[in-house]
Amino acid sequence: MPLRGSTHPNWVWLDLLTLFAVIMFLKANAYHRYTFTRPNMTELPERIAPLFEHTKRICFGRLTIDVPTSSTIVYGPTDVDFPIAYIAHEAERINEHVAKEVEKIEKERYMIRGLSTSDFALYGKVLDGAVRGQKLVFGSKSLADLTIASFIPIGKDLYIQDGITPFNRIEENLAILNNAAKNLRLRADNELPTEAGLCIEGGFASSQYDFEKATIGIRLKEFPDVHFSILSLKNSKYLVESDDIEELIKEQQEVTPHGPGTWYSKIDFLRRAPRQIAHWKGSEVLAHLPPQKTATDSHEFHFTSNGAVNDRLYTRLDIQLDTGVKDNRKGAVHPSLNDAEAVALWDKLVSTLQIRPTQ
């Protein structure tokens, strides 16, 4: 059974700034086909239609999306004020997880020697939390604050939440971690809660939080090289305008050679325009990348919306689809979908994205 720190075997979060930053260097006067200029959901291609004969609705964060019943859902990084991770069937091993955390902290105790004893009075301590069986473990990483790891057993499963707190806000952040623990409950895969809160892997966190993040990956049994992923992030006081795709394009065009005949000039933009998905207004770029020395041709599709300030329902949204993926590497295999199939799959999936209804 995995201990804390193990990597989820199926999760791959394909970073927006990895390969996609490379494809954005093309000048505005270069060749673009824009073959699929408008979403068309009237008829799905022959190989895509059967996927959606049977679907399931899944929830993540405050959102839902309809996916093929045969698909696998992989939950990625999640914030319920602080980052939280889920380990199935590990509640009975909570003492092992806590002991491993304490052992790691004690190995680093030498770093706080000579520092304020009052600031680090809780270093290495294990305290009981607000819910039955919850344990709070204190450590430090930067020597300017404390870390708090909250181990929360719920039924047979275990949640682990990691917090960082300045010395003068320990009580405040302990209260935040304890509040999250009190709001957690388990949730069946097919349950769509009607109360306000966040769907997380294996469970549900009721209430509202200052920091909310949800990420999922969708893997298709019929097309294993296709990776589809979504990030939803609640903004705080400011929007990060530079995260918009078109802003990335402008930045990269200024610093990268991209003359006629280069690899960049061979990128086929199937669609590149503003788009609205549900109530999210943003930018969409659907590209077919040409092969390189170490990669086959592949698709890379993106939609980004900056969302709104401090709005838990109008979040920053990043959606991505890649083909040709194997062993977490893009361009590793030839794509199983042609352009029309990839665009149809994309349009079908994003058309079902919505806010989860609540009472």
Q: Say whether both 198 and 239 belong to one domain.
A: no
* CATH number of the domain that residue 281 is part of: 3.40.1000.10
Q: Which residue has the tokens 């992989």?
A: 74
The whole-number pLDDT of residue 28 equals: 35
Residue at 170 is within a domain: yes
The whole-number pLDDT of residue 253 equals: 63
Coil vs helix vs strand at 85: strand
Q: Say whether both 213 and 236 belong to one domain.
A: yes
Q: Say whether both 214 and 201 belong to one domain.
A: no
pLDDT tens per residue, range 43-97: 899 999 999 999 999 999 999 999 999 999 999 999 999 999 999 999 999 999 9
Q: Say whether both 214 and 348 belong to one domain.
A: yes
Q: Say whether both 190 and 287 belong to one domain.
A: no
Residue at 8 is within a domain: no
Q: Are the CB atoms for 199 and 187 separated by under 8 Å?
A: yes
The whole-number pLDDT of residue 342 equals: 98
Number of domains in the chain: 2
Residue at 113 is within a domain: yes
Q: Say whether both 238 and 340 belong to one domain.
A: yes
Residue at 332 is within a domain: yes
Query: For residue 93, is it left (φ>0), alpha (ψ between -120 and 50) or beta?
Result: alpha
Q: Say whether both 176 and 256 belong to one domain.
A: no
Hey, what long-range contacts does 182-186 have (CB within 8 A, 24 or more apart)? 182/130, 182/131, 183/80, 183/207, 184/80, 184/152, 184/154, 184/159, 185/154, 186/154, 186/155, 186/157
Coil vs helix vs strand at 63: strand
The pLDDT averaged over each successive group of 10 residues in the chain (359 residues) is 42 41 38 58 88 98 98 97 98 98 95 90 97 97 93 98 95 97 97 97 97 98 98 91 71 65 81 95 94 94 95 96 95 96 98 96
Residue at 13 is within a domain: no
Distances, alpha carbon 308 to alpha carbons 83, 238, 359, in Å: 22, 8, 23
Residue at 2 is within a domain: no
Tell me which of 163, 187, 206 is where a domain ends.
Answer: 206
Secondary structure, 3-state, 196-225:
CEEEECCEEEECCCCCEEEEEEEECCCCCC
Q: Say whether both 229 and 324 belong to one domain.
A: yes
Burial of 19 (0-12, 13-18, 19+ CB in 10 A): middle
Q: Say whether both 46 and 148 belong to one domain.
A: no
Residue at 7 is within a domain: no
Coil vs helix vs strand at 320: strand
C-alpha to C-alpha distance for 359 and 351, rounded to whole angstroms: 23
The whole-number pLDDT of residue 19 equals: 38
Distances, alpha carbon 340 to alpha carbons 24, 213, 287, 346, in Å: 21, 32, 12, 10
C-alpha to C-alpha distance for 246 and 24, rounded to whole angstroms: 9
The whole-number pLDDT of residue 209 equals: 96
The whole-number pLDDT of residue 22 equals: 40
Q: Say whether both 238 and 323 belong to one domain.
A: yes
Share of the chain above pLDDT 90, in %: 75
Model's pTM, two decimal places? 0.87
Residue at 193 is within a domain: yes
State the CB neighbour count (10 A cutoff) for residue 63: 21
Q: Say whether both 181 and 224 belong to one domain.
A: no
- Joined together, the tokens standing for residue 354 give 């919505």
Q: Which residue has the tokens 């049994």?
A: 221
Domain of residue 90: give its range: 82-206
Q: Are the CB atoms for 258 and 23 separated by under 8 Å?
A: no
Q: Say whether both 233 and 330 belong to one domain.
A: yes
Tell me which of 183, 206, 229 is where a domain ends.
Answer: 206
